[in-house]
Structure 1
Amino acid sequence: GQNLAATGKQVVIPGWRQVLAEPQAEDGDGEGDTAVRAQVLPALPKLYEGLACQVADVDLKALKTLPPKPYTQGELVKSMKGVAKLVSDPRLKQKLKDTVGIGTEATRANIIGGLIARGYLVKKGRAIRASDAAFTLIDAVPAAIADPGTTAVWEQALDMIEAGQLTLDVFIGKQAAWISQLIAQYGSASLSIKVPQGPACPQCGAPTRQRSGKSGPFWSCSRYPDCKGTLPVESGSSKRGASRPRRSGRKGS
């Protein structure tokens, strides 16, 4: 009940390789012929459906499936440029190959920076990972919005505008109608957002919520602005922005 497969190559026409091939003597002494034959791989047997094969040897290896390696920022930029490999439609795939993929050389870094600033991407060392908010958003939006092939459709429309086959007003009108249709279809969709659980507020004991500030994320009291207790995300134990004891303006004599 096992599925077995064999792969191999068989030269049908040597082509230019025949010119570079070393000449072989017609009447070999046996030793040379043996060396030549040793370099030739045996041809695969003819296989057909239902053929019974005998297993000569089995080599079992205990392996572990590993998650895909996360992108670095440079690899993510490269993937945005070569996004055509993620599109199945051959026409859209070719269009993305002919263009620059997602974004341009001048905008890709800003796109990634904007996603990091909004919390959709998280940097861990050199690696860039999608946050829980990003997975929630991708699961919630229509498939056409998350499909990179949509970029190819828009590129085709822009080419038609450049060639005079389509006006800008018609293109914008079609986009507005399409977006209105998506809103009507998915307007009632609900989001299941995972809110990280924070420590208790150091001032009143109420739960805290993660917020973003100039210095990065921090825990803020859920009763804000009535309570302004905060904690840093790193340790979750010391109060951020806590009042410090005032220093006396007098100097000792």
Structure 2
Amino acid sequence: MESRRLSSRFLWIINRQICVPSKFTAIDLTGGSGQTKYEFQSAALVVVTVFFALASSTLAFEEGSSRCPDKFESVVSHAERMAPISVQQATFAAGCFWSVELAFQRAMGVTKTAVGYTQGHKENPSYEDVCTGRTGHVEAVLVEYNPNEVTYEQLLDVFWKKHDPTQLNRQGNDVGTQYRSGIYYHTPEQETAAKASLQEWETKLGKKIHTEILPATTFYPAEDYHQQYLEKGGRNGRKQSARKGCSDPIRCYG
């Protein structure tokens, strides 16, 4: 009986004291440490699930069981599986960010993307500011991905295949330092992988690659109309699929 009263009291405390926001920040667009910030409702669910498992096992023990039931272990195991998976971030620049973003949207394991400006010296630049080529920024894509579904090395392959890294400060008809090729690492492991990948692709292409590899700095999100631009259809309304695994040619138009 006492255990039941404690259970009721504990549930009241959970209900009154645990406050879990209904929204979470999926991509840290402010740069800084490059770490993703999360506020997960599932954390409270895990706490409640484990509590009920403990309460059930306690009651069973009081009623004469010689040990905690096996069901308790399976419930705890399930609760552990419910724990949120930590996603990681990667930042790439490969010309006009519209088409680069769509390429990563289609990649398996990528959970979110955002286009924006990074590596410059002006705070909160506009698209017009960056287009002058005087702010030092590059058009880039911030990628959030699940490392259990896709590796950073696989994302690097998407990057290399999407553009011509042997071109300096341009991609096709888009000319200027804002269209330069770049990999901006968030961790030492990403730096190591990026440099090894560059050497591999330089050998494969047989030409000098002009891709810069630098630490990720503050990422300023571009204006809303730039986000998922090709998926939304651009000015002409010609939508392009962002379906995972889609291999349709990507057409970059204004």
Q: TM-score range by the shorter chain?
A: under 0.3
In proportion to residue count, which structure has more strand?
A: 2
Q: Report the TM-score when normalising by structure 2.
A: 0.25
TM-score scaled by structure 1?
A: 0.25
Larger radius of gyration: 1
Please identify which structure carries the higher helix content.
2
